[in-house]
Structure 1
């Protein structure tokens, strides 16, 4: 997880963060125990592959909270699409009970909010505190 505020490319200096949330199909409590642990590994793996940084992650039994940083050429829609497709495919292969309980792992919808530097700490604290609710 990165801590540097500014990122650089050949022509750009940027600091773009997104708070992303998406739910399991029918809000079923399937993201627990070993599935939760494996989901965290898969999200980090895919984030590394596509070049985004997961600053904060919290997996709830029926939804996912992420705070990610990306470069200006990546749309939030594309990021969510990449993460959801990759994790759904692998989790459903590895955990057969997911194939029998749900027609698909994720809902088609998601929540996205852009996050500036001022509210970054607030979003991280909010995500951290989700487990305690």
Structure 2
């Protein structure tokens, strides 16, 4: 599946971990525009960098976003998700006027799937094509 160059190295490990994440807005309210998603992509990338993770793809629709992230084994996915959702909601609210429910942008739940079995190009293409042309 992966070439040796795809593996990342830590101090005591070699790894190639990817997670597909989906966050939905509170009550699936359609509050995200294309501009918001572009802004959130930068926020998500910054948060990932703080965890020594990399945001590979990000896209979505009015009421959800998909992310494809590669991350080191020292990072708990739940901790990464909490930081991604918290920072993105806070920074989006500070930059734009977004109609949320009681200042909650995201639903408290999320979807996370390991991407070890599926070809990453297929997942990348799926995430890239979330927003339909308008």
5+ long unaligned stretches in structure 1: none
Q: Secondary structure at the match of 2:119?
A: helix
Provide the TM-score with structure 1 as the length reference: 0.86
Q: How far apart in 2 are the matches of 1:17 and 1:33?
A: 25
Q: How far apart in 1 are the matches of 2:32 and 2:100?
A: 12
Deviations 1:44-103 (A, max 9, x none): 1211222111111113211010010000011211111110001111111222x32x5422
Provide the TM-score with structure 2 as the length reference: 0.85
Pairwise mapping of residues 1-133 of structure 1 onto structure 2 (< 5 A)?
4-95=5-96, 97-98=97-98, 101-103=100-102, 104-116=104-116, 118-132=118-132
Give, in angstroms, the shift of residue 118 of structure 1.
Answer: 4.6
5+ long unaligned stretches in structure 2: none
Q: How far apart in 2 are the matches of 1:101 and 1:11?
A: 43
Deviations 1:25-56 (A, max 9, x none): 11111110432222122111211222111111
Aligned residues: 128
Tell me: CA distance 1:109–1:6, structure 2 relative to 1, closer, same or farther (3 Å).
Answer: same
Q: How far apart in 2 are the matches of 1:67 and 1:33?
A: 18
Structure with the largest fraction of helix: 1
Contact 2:31 2:100 in 1 (8 A): no
